[in-house]
Amino acid sequence: MLTSRKIRATKVNIVYLTTEAVPFAKTGGLADVCGTLPSRVAALGHRAAIIMPAFRSVYQSHAGVEPTDISFAIPMSPRKLVGCRLLRGRLPSAHHVPVWFIDQPQYFDRDSLYGTATGDYPDNAERFAFFCRAAIQAMQRIGWNFDIVHCNDWQTGPIPSLLAADRDLSPALENHATFMTVHNLAYQGNFAKSAFEWLGLDWSHFNQNEFEFYDRVNFLKAGIAAADTITTVSPRYAKEIQTAEHGCGLEAVLENVADRVSGITNGIDQSIWNPETDTKLVANYDVKTWQEGKLANKKALQQQFGLEQSDDVPMIGLVGRLAEQKGWDLILPVLHWHLRENRPTQWIVLGSGDAHYERQLRELNEAHPNRFALHVGFNDMLAHRIEAGSDIFLMPSHYEPCGLNQLYSIRYGTVPIVTPTGGLADTVTDCDEQSLANRTATGFHLHTVTAQGLDDAIGRALYLRYHQPRLWAQIIDTGMCQDWSWKKSAMEYESLYAKTLALKSAAKRTE
Ligand code: ADP
């Protein structure tokens, strides 16, 4: 086994394949991770690059993206040759990390990344099969020798198999190992069998051990089955996905490769999410000044949204996708009870997604505009301001691979109330007698995953806030002093990269 010191002496080249990375394209936490992890790994002495599609938002990011003279074409079918060119930019927060974009306007220059409010784009299998195949071409033309090919989520799932099946790989990829990181197992890229054609592979790869899943083609399954190492974004979720409850049908596939599966908890990018320096806030603050700082941010939200002006009323915040996963079936009744019964709370919600949740939220907002603020859409500035101005942040997710918003809440002195699942259980310590006594409490867990359970957890939090303000402040202080930076997680990835390469070369020697 290699030690961490030996690993660092061995500099490795890593390419991150992803569809999202801040500040170029974002719909969720994948973008936060892929916009930061490469720079933190590079800071440990390695060489990191990113390859992603040139979505419309890439052009709109104004982050200095330039054309290159590298272009090529992929035969998507016998009669369809699709050309593309490479663009090049850099991570604004880490100029030494190049970002290569696959520019193919028909596939990627669209209003959104994956679909519209009415559903996914019907050609997603074709679009992302193209991205995988083009990314493999790009890796060979960039002029680096890649040791680690790090794939992220279903959109890049076919890459490990495509690489293994390719008999003409250039020396740039001769000794590579593959990583497949699952940021959310529920999204698998599960398509009709005919979509397999877009991958340009022989039909012999359409089998139970590779792409075939109940007579359909499953991009993520193929990635899990073929990658040298599989990771997910928290240790608890890594275990949960091997059970029927959270395995989304892939539990047996994951169990088969259990010795290659592990979890590394995400960090947060402190250059973006830090209440001391966050330029999106109306007032900055730290662990000593949060009382005044958070109040100033709360007042600004009250003013902006026409909420009742009150220093004391607790503000309950939520930011997230309007998707079943996030527990809106629990949140909506509780929100309704609080508003209807005129309980002393104020609510603010930022989200976009499923139309039926949006409609219910709009109805409640129209009925109670001075107690419930709503913004439907994606708004980064408001996400930061809600984290800073709220007293309590709700995340009653039914499952949560890691979750970033609860980490931002902890960092911003906003007490999270969470379901004890996946990364939420790994990162938020429930407040009870013992955790208060040993000063480890950072939030509240739902004791039953029901609307009543959520309301009870809010009740416990509010009781403490009103009746034991010192202990409430202790919870906030404990959280704000924790270190959730990427450094520790980056070092864990570094160890796993080295371990995977060592195992791979040992296996090669015995071949
Ligand atoms: P997931 O990846 O499942 O959506 P995470 O909590 O891991 O959930 O990450 C969500 C990320 O997306 C956070 O950075 C959060 O602030 C951001 N986000 C989610 N919805 C919105 C929105 N409507 N506006 C702005 N940011 C959002």
Atom of ligand 1 nearest to the CA of 395: 6
Total number of domains constituting the chain:
2
Which residue, by CA, sits nearest to atom 12 of ligand 1?
Answer: 28
Instruction: Verify that 135 and 218 share a domain, yes or no.
Output: yes
Ligand 1 atom with minimal separation from the 350 CA? 23
- Selection from 186, 188, 185 nearest residue 158 by Cα: 188
pLDDT at site 361 = 98
Task: Report the residue among 26, 37, 184, 319 best suited for mutation to probe ligand 1: largest number of ligand atoms under 8 A from its CB.
Answer: 319
Whether residues 479 and 495 share a domain: the answer is no
Outline where 280-402 has alpha helix (H).
290-305, 328-340, 355-367, 380-389
User: How big is the CA angle at 18 (ends 17 and 20), to the nearest 5 degrees?
Assistant: 155
Determine whether the shortest distance from the Cβ of 321 to ligand 1 is under 6 A.
yes
Atom of ligand 1 nearest to the CA of 26: 12
With a 6 A CB cut-off, is 494 part of the ligand 1 pocket? no
**For residue 29, how far is its CA from the centre of ligand 1 (angstroms)?**
6
Q: Are 252 and 15 in contact, with CB atoms under 8 Å apart? A: no
Do both 210 and 259 map to the same domain?
yes
Both tokens assigned to 309: 């002006």
Model confidence at 505, pLDDT cuts 50, 70, 90, reads confident
Q: Is the CB of 416 under 6 A from ligand 1?
A: no
Q: 375: helix, coil or strand?
A: strand
Domain that holds residue 223: 4-267+487-510
- Ligand 1 atom 4 nearest Cα: 28
Which atom of ligand 1 is nearest the CA belonging to 266? Answer: 7
> In this structure, is residue 158 part of a structural domain?
yes
H-helix or E-strand containing 276? none
User: Angle, nearest 10°, between helix axes 328-340 and 451-467?
Assistant: 60
Per-residue pLDDT for 188 more than 50? yes
Q: Is the pLDDT of residue 219 over 60?
A: yes
Distance 71 CA to ligand 1 centre (A): 34
Q: What confidence score (pLDDT) does residue 5 get? A: 47
Q: Ligand 1, closest atom to CA 384?
A: 16
Relative to the CA of 380, which ligand 1 atom is closest?
25
Distance separating alpha carbons of residues 465 and 487, to the nearest angstrom: 33
Q: Which of 113, 324, 354, 378 to mutate to test the pocket of ligand 1 (most atoms within 8 A of CB)?
A: 378
The size of the chain, in residues, is 511
**Residues 361 and 394 placed together within one structural domain of the fold:** yes
- CA 31 to ligand 1 center in whole angstroms: 9
What DSSP element (H or E) covers 153? Answer: none
Sign of CA dihedral 204, 208, 209, 210: positive
Rg (C-alpha) for the chain, rounded Å, is 23
Q: What pLDDT was estimated at residue 347? A: 98
Report, as an integer, the average pLDDT of 109-125. 93
Pocket test for ligand 1, best of 32, 322, 402 (most atoms within 8 A of CB): 32
* Of residues 408, 409, 413, the one with CA closest to residue 292: 413
User: If you measure from the C-alpha of residue 405 to the centroid of ligand 1, how many angstroms do you get, rounded to a whole number?
Assistant: 7
Q: Is residue 49 included in any domain, yes or no?
A: yes
Q: State residue 117's pLDDT score.
A: 73
Q: Residue 388: which pLDDT band, with cuts at 50, 70 and 90?
A: very high
Separation between Cα atoms, residue 39 and residue 41, nearest integer Å? 5
Mean pLDDT of 290-304: 98
Is there a domain that residue 171 lies in?
Answer: yes
Based on the domain organization, do 207 and 294 belong to the same domain? no
Pair 248, 186: CB distance under 8 Å: yes
The pTM for the full model equals 0.93
Helix H segments across 306-379? 328-340, 355-367
* Ligand 1 centre distance from Cα of residue 256 (Å): 32
In this predicted structure, the answer to whether residue 206 has a pLDDT above a threshold of 90 is: yes
- What digits encode the pLDDT tens for the residues 254-283? 999 999 999 999 999 998 999 999 999 999
Q: Quick count: other Cβ atoms within 10 Å of Cβ 303? A: 11
The pLDDT, as a whole number, for residue 116 is 85
Answer yes or no: do 69 and 183 share one domain. yes
What percent of the chain is predicted at pLDDT more than 70? 98
- Residue corresponding to tokens 């877009």: 198
Asked, for residue 199, whether it belongs to a domain, the answer is yes
Provide the pLDDT for residue 1.
41
- Residue 222 zone, left/alpha/beta (φ > 0; ψ -120 to 50; rest): alpha
Distance between CA atoms of residues 381 and 304, nearest Å:
13
Burial 434-453 (b: 16+ CB within 10 A, else e): ebbeeeebbbbbbeebebeb
In whole angstroms, what is the distance from residue 126 CA to residue 331 CA?
A: 37
Is residue 232 within 8 A of residue 238, CB to CB? The reply is: yes
DSSP per position, 18-45 = -S-BTTTB-SSHHHHHHTTHHHHHHHTT
Mark whether 255 and 354 lie in a shared domain: no
pLDDT surpasses 90 at 167: no
Q: How confident is the model at residue 481 (pLDDT cuts 50, 70, 90)?
A: very high
Task: Look at residue 2 in the predicted model and tell me its pLDDT.
Answer: 43
* Residues 440 and 502 placed together within one structural domain of the fold: no
Residue 7 has pLDDT above 80, yes or no: no
Residue 398 placed within a domain: yes
Q: Measured at the alpha carbon of residue 233, what is the angle toward residues 228 and 234, in degrees to the nearest 5?
A: 110
The whole-number pLDDT of residue 3 equals: 47
Confidence of residue 9 (pLDDT cuts 50, 70, 90): low
Instruction: Please check whether residues 255 and 383 belong to one and the same domain.
Output: no
Distances, alpha carbon 410 to alpha carbons 54, 116, 405, in Å: 34, 33, 9
Q: H helices then E strands: how many in the chain? A: 20, 20
**Span 239-245, average pLDDT:** 96
Measured distance between the N- and C-terminal CA atoms of the chain, rounded to whole angstroms: 20
Ligand 1 proximity of 350 Cβ (cutoff 6 Å): yes
Q: Indicate whether residue 280 lines ligand 1 (CB < 6 A).
A: no
Residue 273 covered by a domain: no
Same domain for 441 and 474, yes or no, is: yes
Same domain, 65 and 92: yes
Half-sphere exposure of 403 (CA within 13 A, CB side): 35
Angle between helices 380-389 and 290-305 (to 10 degrees): 130
* CATH number of the CATH domain containing 179: 3.40.50.2000
Q: What is the mean pLDDT of residues 227-246?
A: 97
Q: What is the mean pLDDT of residues 340-361?
A: 96
Q: Is the CB of 160 under 6 A from ligand 1?
A: no
Evaluate whether residue 280 is within a structural domain: no
- With a 6 Å cutoff on the Cβ, whether 52 touches ligand 1 is no
Question: Would you state the structure tokens that stand for residue 111, as one six-digit string?
Answer: 């209003």
* Whole-number average pLDDT of the chain: 95
Ligand 1 near 32 CB (within 6 A): yes
Helix (H) or strand (E) holding 354: none
- Say if ligand 1 is within 6 A of residue 28 CB: yes
Question: 25: Cβ below 6 Å to ligand 1?
Answer: no
351 CB under 6 A from ligand 1?
A: yes
Cα 173 to ligand 1 centre (Å)? 34
Q: Quick check: is 232 in a domain?
A: yes
Same domain, yes or no, for 212 and 100? yes
Judged by DSSP in three states, 85 sits in strand
pLDDT of 8 over the 60 cut: no
